Structure 1
Amino acid sequence: MSSEHYTPAVNPLPPVVVALVLFIFGIELIFMLGSRGLVGGPSAIGWRLDALQQYSFSPEIFDWMVENGRWPFEHLIRFVTYPFVSANFTQAVFVCVFVLAMGKMVAEVFGSVQMLVIFVLSGIGGALIYAVPLDPQYPLVGGFPPVYGLIGAFTWILWRKLSLVGENQSRAFSLIAVLMGIQLLFGLLFGGTLDWVADLGGFATGFGLSFFLAPGGWARIVGRIRRD
């Protein structure tokens, strides 16, 4: 007997989350198949390198655009494209796992469009914070800055819930503290780059955007401004 009130044991993933994961992992799969000579012929071996050169976010190119006041679309698009080009298979897998977990929770609370906006703008924010105050030597690739933006939005959800029940809101930042601690430890043990700055910038962007993109968020801000 069917029931109109049947509730699945596991909530289905929002389509936008599935689309993001399929796009990121699909690109990685093409690179892997090409590097093994299974598709694309001999030239496919260099597909990843070509994509990194064309679509990664380059601080040097950004500095050139600022200094010359020229903003070619082929370079501006790097702000959006770099999260979809992974440096290796492991990075792509971790990005996909985090998008599945964090993207699902953020999309269910904020909405699918809002989740996608946070993902894209956090990638842009992470790149800007990576390039503007620093002088990094390496291009930015992979989806961790926008993933950290989703973590920022998830942190905002916890932060808001804790405030409603009168709990200590600093507990909401436990996840980002652990992740940053792990990055610091790995950097000390194995050496590393300044990518963590972009990750932290993505987190801050996602957390900040949540005040506007959360359900009723803009109305709360306008109401607070009117009261002041």
Structure 2
Amino acid sequence: MSPPPPAEDVPQLDPRARALLWGAIALCVGIELVLQAADHGLIGDRRWRGLAYDYGAFWSQLLRGWRPNYAAQPWTMFASYAVLHGGLWHLTFNMVTLWSLGRAVAERAGAGGLASLLAGGTLGGAVGHGLLSAAPVPMVGASGALFGLAGALLVWAWADRRDARETQRPVIVAALVLVGINLVMWWALKGQLAWQAHLGGFVAGAALAPRRRG
């Protein structure tokens, strides 16, 4: 077994990027823990989760004539949906993925690039869902932002391999794996998967990926 690389050769995460990732994770975890506590009657009211979805989830029908609960809701939902989740499993999967992909993006594009891709993926996910889904159900979760990060990473991988004159097969395989995961999840969840948000986030991330390092 080869020895580990010297400490100075291990990429160090930008402190600002670390703060951004931990801040986003803390926000999502904090909200879900409050809703979990309310679900179990420990605090507040068991209606809190429903109210959170009513006021903060992304509702495609608000773009198609539904009356909003407050005037700005058709606009604020393009961001607020990303900090709500459908339970502990949904939250855990998304937060672990956020930390993993977020570190990789920050090492390439810094804190500014990470912030722009998280915002762009969140917005792209909402736009994709709004355009492609008319289902009268709430859409929640950070998946749009996560697929934005994935889109950027695949664009960079493609560019790096092109510049090095290497085969693009690993990049193509990774993209097919993402498609496969979505198909499996769509089947397992009996169609209750916001693939439209995943697609919108991925396209936004691929389009916004900075074309330089750092």
TM over 0.5: yes
The aligned counterpart of 1:122 is: 121
The aligned counterpart of 1:220 is: none
Higher mean Cα deviation, 49-58 or 180-189?
A: 180-189
The aligned counterpart of 1:46 is: 47
CA distance in 2, matches of 1:171, 1:152: 14
Task: Name the TM-score, length of structure 2 as normaliser.
Answer: 0.84
CA distance in 2, matches of 1:118, 1:187: 25
For residue 189 of structure 1, report the CA deviation from its aligned partner: 5.1
The aligned counterpart of 1:60 is: 61
The aligned counterpart of 1:195 is: 194
Code of the aligned partner of 2:181 = I
> Which of structures 1 and 2 has the larger relative contact order (alpha carbons within 8 angstroms, sep 6+)?
2
Shift in alpha-carbon separation, 1:108–1:168, aligned structure 2, 3 A:
same
The aligned counterpart of 1:222 is: none
Indicate the RMSD between aligned Cα atoms, in angstroms.
Answer: 2.6
SS across alignment from 1:14:
helix
4+ residue segments displaced more than 4 Å = none
Shift in alpha-carbon separation, 1:190–1:132, aligned structure 2, 3 A:
closer
Partner deviation per Cα, 1:40-88 (whole Å, 9 max, x = no partner)? 3xx2x222111111001111002228xx9xx942320100010100011
Task: Name the TM-score, length of structure 1 as normaliser.
Answer: 0.79
For residue 114 of structure 1, report the CA deviation from its aligned partner: 1.9
For residue 179 of structure 1, report the CA deviation from its aligned partner: 2.5
Shift in alpha-carbon separation, 1:6–1:216, aligned structure 2, 3 A:
closer
Pairs within 5 Å for 1:69-218? 72-188=71-187, 190-193=189-192, 195-210=194-209, 213-215=210-212
For residue 38 of structure 1, report the CA deviation from its aligned partner: 2.7
For residue 9 of structure 1, report the CA deviation from its aligned partner: 6.1
Higher mean Cα deviation, 191-200 or 45-54?
A: 191-200
Partner deviation per Cα, 1:165-213 (whole Å, 9 max, x = no partner)? 1112353243332122122134335511351121011111101111xx3
The aligned counterpart of 2:3 is: none
SS across alignment from 1:114:
helix
CA distance in 2, matches of 1:188, 1:99: 23
Partners of 1:21 and 1:96 within 8 A in 2: yes
* Equivalent residue pairs, number: 204
For residue 145 of structure 1, report the CA deviation from its aligned partner: 1.2
Code of the aligned partner of 1:127 = A
Higher mean Cα deviation, 161-170 or 46-55?
A: 161-170
Q: Which runs of 5+ in 2 are unaligned?
A: 1-5
CA distance in 2, matches of 1:77, 1:39: 26
Please say if 1:24 is aligned against 2:38.
no
CA distance in 1, matches of 2:9, 2:28: 27
CA distance in 2, matches of 1:216, 1:184: 33
Shift in alpha-carbon separation, 1:167–1:8, aligned structure 2, 3 A:
closer
Q: Which runs of 5+ in 1 are unaligned?
A: 218-228
CA distance in 2, matches of 1:132, 1:143: 18
